[in-house]
A and B are shown apart, each in its own frame.
Chain A
Amino acid sequence: MDESLTLLLAQANDGDAAARNRLFELLYADLRRRAHAELAGHMRNSLCTTALVHEAYLRLFDKPLSVSSRAHFFHLAARVMRQVLLDHVRERQAQKRGGGAAPVTLTVDAAAEQADPLPLIALDRALNELQAFDPQLARLTELHVFAGLEFAAIAELVGTSERSVYRDWRLARVFLHRAMHGEPA
C-alpha cells in the first residue's frame, strides 16, 4: 500500500486529477471503516477524527513525507474525514426518521440523544460558502477542524506563520458563524 500511495500522492500533487480521486477513494474507504469501527463499539461513542487522520498518516507512510506531500495528504484526509462524518450524520438522520437505511450499530446513550449537537450539516454548507468566498480559509478550516492539525502544524504545511494562521482562523470563524446563524435581528 505504501509505495503506490506515495506515488499517487506525488501525482496528485502534480495536479493529476485521476490520482487525486483515487487517493480520495482509498482514504475514504479506509477512514470510513475505521470511523465506523470506533463508533460501532468499544470506544464508547467516541470518535477522535484528529487521531484517525494522524494515525492514517503514520500508518500509511513509513517515513516522513515532504512538506508539500504532507500538505496534500492532510488536505485530502481532512476532506475525507469531513465526508465520512457527514455521511454518518445523514445516515443517522435517516435512521431516526425510519428511513430504512442500513443501520450503523451505535451504542447511543440517552443523554447523547438529548444533546444539542452543532449541526454538522449546517457547518458543511457554510464551509461550501466559505470555499466560494475564500478558498484558503476554507482549507484552513478543514485542516483544523477535521484533520485536527494544530496551528503550528498548519503554518508549516501552508508556509506561513502561526500568527497568520491563527488570525485566518478567526476570520474563518466569523464567516462560518455568520453563515450558520444568520444576521442578528
Chain B
Amino acid sequence: MSEETTSPPPPAPDARAWQLLRAALELPAAERAAFAAQACAGDAALRAELDALLARDGDADSLLDAPLDPQRWLGVPAHDAGIGSVVGPYRIVAELGSGGMGSVYRAERIGGVARHHVALKVIKRGMDSGEIQARFVRERDILAQLKHPHIARLIDGGVSDTGQAWFAMELIDGEPIGAWCDARRLPLAARIALFLDVCAAVQYAHRNLVVHRDLKPGNVLVSGEGEVKLLDFGIAKLLTDSRDGAHTGSQLRLLTPEYAAPEQFRGEPVTTATDVYQLGLMLFALLSGRRAPRAGDNTGAAPMPRLAAALASARRAGEAPVETIAAARSTSLRALQRALRGDLARIVAKALADDPARRYDSAGDFADDLRRWLDGRPVLARPDSVAYRVRRFVARHTAGVAAATLAALSLIGASVYSADQAYRARQQAQRAEAVREFLVGVFANADPDENKGQPLSAHQLLEKGEAQLARDAGGDAAVAADLTGLIGSLYQKLGDFTRAKELLERAATMAGDAAIPAAIKARNANELARLELVQYKFDDAMSHAREALALAQAAGPGAAKENREARRMIASALIGEGKVKDGLPLLREVSAEEQQPGVDAGANLIDDDSLLCEAYEFDEQTEAAIAACHAAIDVATAQHRENTWGVSLVYNRLGTMLQRMGRYPESEAALREALRLREQLHGADHSGTVVVRSNLMRLYEVQGRHAETLQGRIDLVALARKNREARPGELGYALLLLGDVYDALGRLDDAEATLRESLAVWTELMGANNGKGTERAGVLRFLGENLQHQGRYDEAETAFRDAIAFAAAQKDSSLLAAEAALSHADLGNLLRLRHRYDAALAEFALIAPAPANGKNVSTRMTQIAAYQAEAELDAGHVAAAQASATQAVAFARQAYHGRTPRVTPALFARARAELAAGHPVEAEALLRETLALRSPPHPAEDLRVLEVQVELARALAARGERDAAKALAGATATLLAQNKTAYAADLRQRLADVR
C-alpha cells in the first residue's frame, strides 16, 4: 500500500454530532438509541451523523484496541492469542484483561475431566521467552509449592507456539480489595483484619524466599465469600530475575512506576522490605481512600505520607470525595480523621519509610503491629524521639564533636560556674538547665522531614543552634556567652574556621560583661586561641591564651580545667613559633597535672601526648617522639577513642616522622591510617584530611615517585586556593610542595612560578605574624635551588643568602638552625659551581655542628657532607673530599632505607671522589646506582642526570672501556648541547677528556 498517496482525509466530524457522541458514550449501550432519537429530534441529518459515529465506535473496537501492539505496524505479526486459540494444554475461552506484561484470559484445560478453568497469562512479545522458560523451570517447584489459602496458585507454565511465555494460575472470581471493601462499607477494623490476611500471605511467601515485587491493588482480589487472594506471586521475579538480584535496564521496564518502591527506582536489590513498602501503599489507600503521596508530588505534603493529611488534601483524579470515603467506611468524616492519626498513622509511615532498613523487617512484623493497634496495645512504630535523634547525630559524626557536645552537656552538669553560695548554686543550676534545654531543643527541632528525610549534618545542626541563639539574644548573658563560645568551638571542630572565628570573636567581645562568669570567658578565650593557632597567628593566640590564664586564675579552683587548657595553648603557641625549649616544660607540667588521679582530663591526655610528640619532633628527639605517639594511641584505645580526630593526629605525626627516618613502609601504613580516619570523620576536602593526603604524596616524592603525585598536588593547590581565607597556611605549603614536584620533573619554569607564589603567600602570612615561622626559610631555599638549576646564579645566591639571614634572625629555634645549615650548604655548593672554591669552603666552615647525638642521623648531614665533598674536590683537596664523601655516604645509608633519590648527592660525591682518587671501578658502581635513582624522576636532559652520565663516561674511560665511554659521552654531549647554563658548559668541558 502506498500510504503516501492517499485520498484527502474526510472533513472533521460535525461539531454538534460530536458533542452528542460524547454524551452518548456515557450511557450504557442499550440506552443510546433512545438518547439519539431524543437529542436529534427532528434533525434527520444530525441523527444520521450521530448514528454513523456510533457505528464507528463499534467498528473501531476491533482495530486499535488492546493489546496495543505498535510492532504490528512494523510488519511484525501481532500476538494472536484470541478466543479459541490454544496455548499449551489450554484453550482460551474469554479475555479477562490486559496489563503491562501481557493479557490474561480465562482458559479451560483441553481434555480435562471436569471443566476446570484457569487464569491464563500470556506474556507479551518482547520478553525473552526462552530465558523466562528456563527460569520457570528452575523456580517452578518453589512457586508451585506456594500453597496458601490466600495465594492464587501457580499451576503451570510454558512457551506457546507463537513463542510467548505463558502461565496458568488458579482462576479467582473476585473484586480488587479496595472495591470489595467499599462495596460492603467495611469499617477500618474490618479492613485491617482483611489486610492481615494479605500480610499473612506475603509473610508465608517470604518464608519461602519468594518476594512478590509487584504488589498493586489489582493483584489482590477478594472473593464473594471474603477470601483474599494474591495474584501473580513470583511472576515478576521470573520475568525479571537476575543473578544478583539487582535490576538491570531491561528489567526495570516491567515495574509499575506508580507502585514502585524507592529502591526499585534506584535499581537496588529488591527485598522483602520492598513488599512491605507496597503493602504500606495498599493499606494507606484502604484506610484513607486516597493514594499515598509519593516524593516529588506537587501536593505540598511532606515526603512522609500522613494518613490524616491525605484526607485533608485536595481530591485528585479518580478519588472519591471525603464524605464518600467516610461513608464507605461506615463512619463519619471526623471520626475517620481521628482514627487516622496517632499510632495507625505511625504504622503506615513506618511501612512507607524511604530507607528499607527503617521499615518493618517483614510482613509479619507489619501485621503484628496492626494487631497491636486493633487490641489497643502500644505499637512499635514510633516517631523519632529526641533521644533517638541525639544518639543518631552523635553516632554519625566525629566522636570529637560528640565528645565535645556531650562534654558540653556534662560540663553543664559539672560546676563550671564559680562555686559560691546557695544563690550561686541555684543560679548555676538554672543556667545549666537553660543551656541544656537549648541544646536539646536544637536536636529536638531537627525535624528529619526538613531535610527530605536525610539526617541533618552536624553543620546544619550548628547553624540551627546559631540561629536559635540569635533569636533568643535577649536572654541570660552568661548563657548566651557560653553558648556562643560552645557553638564556635564546635564549628572549629568541624573545620569551618570562618564561622568559628566569627562566633568566638563575638564571644570574646562579651567578655566585658561582668555578669558573665570568669570561667566562661576563660574558656572562650582558650577556644579563640586554639583557632588562631591553627591559622598560624601565634601572637594573637598567645595573647588570648594569656588572657584566658589570667581569667582562670582569677576564677580559682572552679576553673582548673580552663587553667590547664590556657597553659596548654601557651605551650602550643611557643612550640608553633619554634620555641620548643620554652614550650616543652610547660606542656609537661600540664600533662603531669592531668594524669593526677581525680582529674578528669579525658581526651586531653591524648592531646598532651600528641603535643609532646610534636615538641620532641621539633627538637629532633625522634625516638622520644615516636614513643609519645604510641603512648597516645594506647591511651586512646584504652578510652575507646581510637577512631577519633586526636588519634588521626597521632598517626599523621608518626607517619611523617617515620618517613623522615626513611622507614617508608611503616610511614605509609601510619599515614594511610590517618587518612582513613580523617576521610571517615570529615571527608576528603577537610583541612586535616588534606594534610594527610599531602603527607602521603610527600612519602612518594621522597621515593622519587614525583610523576605519581603531580596531579594530586595540583588538586591540593586548587583546593587550598578555594579555602585561602579560612586556611591560609595551606596554600603556602601546597604551592611549595607542588613547586618541588615540578622541579624534580624538570619543569623548572613552572617550579619557579609556583615557588614564588608560595613565597608571597608565606611572606604575607608572616607579615601579619611579625615575621615568625619557619616555612619562609624553607621556601627560599627551594627557590634558590630552582634558580640554580636554571643557571641563574645571581638570583640563586640572593635567595640562599636571604634564607641564611632569615634563619639567623630567629635564634632560638632548633628547626631554623637546620634550615640555616642547609642554606649554608646550598650556598657553598653554588659558590663551587661559580668556581669560587675558597668562598665555598668557607661557607661550609660556617655550619654549626649538628647536635652531638650520634644515634639520630639527621638527613641534612647527608646533604651537607655531600656538598662539602664536592666543594673540596673541585678545590683540589682530594683526600679531604674522600673523607667527606665517605661520611656523607655513611650518613645517607643510616638516614635512608629503601630507594630514594635523596641519597644520591652523597653517592655522587663519593663517586667523584673515588674517580679522582683513581678508583674507577668503585666509582662506576656508585654512579650506576645514582643514575638509577635519579632517572626517574628527573627527565633525561636534566643536568642532575647528565652530570652523573658525564662522570660515568669518565669512569668507563678510566677503566679502559673506550668504546662504551665514547658512546656515552657522545649521547650525553648531545643532550648537554641543548642546555645553556654555565654548569652544562663545565660538564661539556669535563667530557672533553673522553671524546
Q: Which residues of A contact B (CB under 8 A)?
A: 38-39, 43-52, 54-55, 57-59, 61-69, 81, 85, 88-89, 92, 108, 111-113, 115, 117-123, 125-126, 129, 132-133, 144-146, 148, 150, 152-153, 155-156, 158-162, 167, 170-171, 173-179, 182-184
Contact = CB atoms under 8 A, between A and B. Distances in A.
Given A58-B255, A159-B316, A92 B163 contact: no
Given A148-B68, A158-B317, A159-B316, A117 B60 contact: no
B243 interface: no
Contact of A65 (B72, B124, B296): B296
A62 B265 contact: yes
B73 A48 contact: no
A107 to B, nearest CB: 11
Interface in B856-905: none
Nearest to A51: B253
B60 A173 contact: yes
Interface in B71-105: 71-77, 99-100
A49 B298 contact: no
Nearest to A116: B1
Contacts of B9: 125-126, 129, 179
B3 A119 contact: yes
Interface stretch (B51-59, B506-514, B516-524, B685-693): B51-59
Contacts of B128: 43
B60 A146 contact: no
A54 B252 contact: yes
5 contacts: A39-B74, A47-B74, A49-B71, A63-B266, A182-B7
B43 interface: no
A72 to B, nearest CB: 12
Contacts of B25: 167, 170-171
A49 B70 CA distance: 7
B71 A156 contact: no
Given A120-B73, A167-B25, A171-B22, 7 more contacts: A46-B71, A58-B255, A66-B296, A85-B74, A121-B3, A155-B317, A173-B57
Nearest to A38: B126
A156 B316 contact: yes
A160 B319 CA distance: 9
Contact of A52 (B21, B61, B253, B258): B253
B75 A115 contact: yes
A145 B74 contact: no
A177 B254 CA distance: 30
Nearest to A86: B73
A58 B318 contact: no
B135 interface: no
B960 interface: no
A88 B75 CA distance: 11
A182 B10 contact: yes
Contact of A68 (B13, B264, B298, B318): B298
B789 to A, nearest CB: 47
B125 interface: yes
Contact of B74 (A58, A62, A89, A125): A89
Contact of B297 (A66, A111, A145, A184): A66
B68 A145 contact: yes
A85 B69 CA distance: 12
Interface centre among B12, B13, B68, B74 (most CB of A within 10 A): B74
B250 A55 contact: yes
Nearest to B73: A120
A88 B74 contact: yes
Interface in B247-271: 249-250, 252-255, 257-258, 260, 262, 264-266
Contacts of B126: 38, 43, 46-48, 51
Given A50-B100, A68-B298, A177 B10 contact: no
B63 interface: yes
Nearest to A134: B18
Nearest to A53: B253
B6 interface: yes
A123 B291 CA distance: 35
B41 interface: no
Interface of B: 1, 3-4, 6-7, 9-10, 12-13, 18, 21-22, 25-26, 52-53, 56-57, 59-61, 63-65, 68, 70-77, 99-100, 124-126, 128, 163, 249-250, 252-255, 257-258, 260, 262, 264-266, 291, 294-298, 316-318
Contacts of A81: 70
Contacts of B73: 85, 89, 117-120, 123
A88 to B, nearest CB: 7
A174 B264 CA distance: 39
Contacts of A176: 60, 64
Contacts of A153: 258
Contact of A167 (B10, B13, B26, B59): B26
Contacts of A68: 298
Contact of B295 (A50, A63, A118, A150): A63
A132 B257 CA distance: 31
Contact of B13 (A112, A170, A175): A175
A178 B14 CA distance: 12
Given A55-B249, A122-B3, A48 B125 contact: yes
Contact of A59 (B64, B99, B249, B296): B249
Contacts of A179: 9-10
A45 B71 contact: yes
Contact of B318 (A66, A108, A133, A155): A155
A48 B124 CA distance: 8
A118 B297 CA distance: 38
A178 B266 CA distance: 44
Given A48-B125, A89-B74, A129 B12 contact: yes
Given A175-B13, A177-B63, A170 B57 contact: yes
Contacts of A115: 72, 75-77
A112 B76 contact: yes
A152 B318 contact: yes
Contacts of B316: 156, 159
What are the 5 tightest A-B residue pairs by CB atom distance, in nearest-first order?
A48-B126, A51-B253, A55-B253, A120-B73, A173-B60
Contacts of A167: 22, 25-26
Contact of B60 (A44, A45, A177): A177
B860 to A, nearest CB: 53
B257 to A, nearest CB: 6
A40 to B, nearest CB: 13
A122 B296 contact: no
A68 B298 CA distance: 8
A69 B295 CA distance: 12
A69 B18 CA distance: 32
A44 B57 contact: no
A156 B257 CA distance: 12
B81 to A, nearest CB: 15
A47 B69 CA distance: 9
A85 B73 CA distance: 9
B259 to A, nearest CB: 10
B842 to A, nearest CB: 67
A161 B18 CA distance: 21
A146 B70 contact: yes
Given A45-B71, A117-B73, A156 B258 contact: yes
B638 to A, nearest CB: 45
A161 B318 contact: yes
Given A64-B257, A118-B72, A133-B12, A174 B53 contact: yes
A32 to B, nearest CB: 14
Contacts of B250: 55
B163 A112 contact: no
Contacts of A183: 10, 52
B258 A47 contact: no
Nearest to A97: B2
A169 B582 CA distance: 90
B58 to A, nearest CB: 10
A156 B124 contact: no
Nearest to A126: B9
Given A89-B73, A145-B64, A158-B317, A174 B21 contact: yes
